[in-house]
């Protein structure tokens, strides 16, 4: 980790990866969309409504995956003072919030024909809504203080405490009687989904993952540029020449 603590080294790595991750994202989304819309069959009960799964399920997986990485980055920033961990956390929080929003919206679209309601206070749905609020809380705290370091610490603590919500989301369908269906992929005995549906689902999941990596690298690069410009402006304001000109 310390090897890539240098922003210049990180930017070289990012510049090398971004073209490949960008192309992989576009290609995987194209293949996944074709498989999901044309290459997979209708469900015998849900008909074409089942195709919402190819957007909803990967978004739900990524919402939890990104938050786990957000908490990890926050812990590294607090304990080891890794210079890029805080940048990574602030960069990935809006991405995770977007994934969570997609999960909630598509879940409502899927729930209406299946359950007869846009929203129910189901344990799984409620815990995912709480995850969305945790993302919003992290972003609000990170920008709530004039002292950027204080805001970063407060946001990092919230992210670490919020990890307790991840197992609640994962096991809510097992711990409580909910309307949400139990796990169909990550379960003992292997996936219960037919390969004709599992394949596009996994392709879309990988596409979401590559999209996350691509946007995260972009946002981190932009944040590092902003920090460098802010440091140069501060240095210019503190220089004797700048003070003489103002006088």
Number of structural domains (the chain) is: 1
Structural domain includes residue 136? yes
**For the domain that residue 209 is a member of, what is the CATH number?**
1.20.120
Residue 160 pLDDT: 97
Structural domain includes residue 5? no
State the SS3 of 142-193. HCCCCCHHHHHHHHHHHHHHHHHHHHHHHHHHHHCCCCCCCCCCCCCCCCCC
Structural domain includes residue 211? yes
Residue 166 pLDDT: 97
Structural domain includes residue 33? yes
Q: Tell me if 122 sits within 8 A of 71, measured CB to CB.
A: no
Residue 211 pLDDT: 98
Residue 168 pLDDT: 95
Structural domain includes residue 83? yes
Residue 135 pLDDT: 98
pTM of the predicted protein model: 0.90
List the one residue out of 72, 124, 130 whose CA is nearest residue 97.
Answer: 130
Residue 5 pLDDT: 63
DSSP string computed for 7-66: HHHHHHHHHHHHHHHHHHHHHHHHHHHHIIIIISPPBTTTBGGGGGHHHHHHHHHHHHHH
Structural domain includes residue 6? no
Structural domain includes residue 100? yes
Structural domain includes residue 188? no
* Block residue for tokens 């610490």: 153
Q: Tell me if 224 sits within 8 A of 11, measured CB to CB.
A: yes
> Mind listing the pLDDT tens digit of every residue in the chain (247 residues)?
556 567 888 889 999 999 999 999 999 999 999 999 999 998 877 888 899 999 999 999 999 999 999 999 999 999 988 879 999 999 999 999 999 999 999 999 988 888 888 888 888 999 999 999 999 999 999 999 988 889 999 999 999 999 999 999 998 887 777 767 776 776 555 676 888 999 999 999 999 999 999 999 999 999 999 988 887 887 888 876 555 455 4
Domain of residue 200, residue span: 19-177+194-242
Residue 112 pLDDT: 87
């Amino acid at each position: 980790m310390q090897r890539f603590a240098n922003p210049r080294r990180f930017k070289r790595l990012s510049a090398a990866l971004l073209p490949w991750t960008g192309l992989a994202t576009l290609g995987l989304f194209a293949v996944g969309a074709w498989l999901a819309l044309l290459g997979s069959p209708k469900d015998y009960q849900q008909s074409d409504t089942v195709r919402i799964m190819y957007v909803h399920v990967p978004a739900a997986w990524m919402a939890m995956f990104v938050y786990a990485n957000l908490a990890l980055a926050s812990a590294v920033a607090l304990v080891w003072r890794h210079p890029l961990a805080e940048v990574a956390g602030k960069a990935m929080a809006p991405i995770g919030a977007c994934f969570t929003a997609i999960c909630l919206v598509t879940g409502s679209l899927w729930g209406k024909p299946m359950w007869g309601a846009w929203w129910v206070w189901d344990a799984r749905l409620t815990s995912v809504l709480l995850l969305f609020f945790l993302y919003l809380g992290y972003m609000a705290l990170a920008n709530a203080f004039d002292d950027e370091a204080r805001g970063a610490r407060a946001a990092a603590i919230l992210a670490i405490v919020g990890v307790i919500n991840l197992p609640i989301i994962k096991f809510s369908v097992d711990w409580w009687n909910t309307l949400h269906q139990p796990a169909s992929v990550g379960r003992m005995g292997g996936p219960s989904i037919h390969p004709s549906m599992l394949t596009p689902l996994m392709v879309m999941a990988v596409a979401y993952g590559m999209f996350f990596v691509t946007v995260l690298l972009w946002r981190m690069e932009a944040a590092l540029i902003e920090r460098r410009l802010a440091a140069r402006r501060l240095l210019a304001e503190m220089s004797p020449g700048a003070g003489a000109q103002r006088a």
